[in-house]
Structure 1
Amino acid sequence: MPETWQSIGAKKRAEQDRAIPSEWKLKSLPPTSQLDVRSIPSTCGILTADEISITEDHDAYSLLNGLHGQSLTALEVTTAFCKRAAIAHQLTTCLTEIFFDRALARAKELDDYMDRHGRAVGPLHGLPISLKDTFNIAGLDTSLGIAAMAFHPAPANCPLVDILLNAGAVLYVKTNIPQTLMALDSINNVFGRVLNPANRALTAGGSSGGEGALLALRGSPLGVGTDIGGSIRVPAMCNGLYGFKPSSGRIP
Structure 2
Amino acid sequence: MAKTSIQFKHVQKSFGDNLVIPDLSFTVGAGEFVTILGSSGSGKTTVLKMINGLLEPSAGEILIGKKTLADQDLVNLRRHIGYVVQQIGLFPHMTIAENIGVVPKMLNWTPERIVSRVTELLKLVQLNPTSFADRYPSQLSGGQQQRVGVARALATNPPYVLFDEPFGALDALTRLELQREVKRIHDSLGDKTFLFVTHDINEALFLGQRVMVMHAGRIEQFATPQEIVAHPATTFVKELLGTVRQNQELWGRDHD
Higher relative contact order (CA 8 A, sep 6+): 2
Q: Give TM class, smaller chain.
A: under 0.3
* TM score, norm. by length of structure 2: 0.28
Larger Rg: 2
Which structure has the highest strand share of the two? Answer: 2
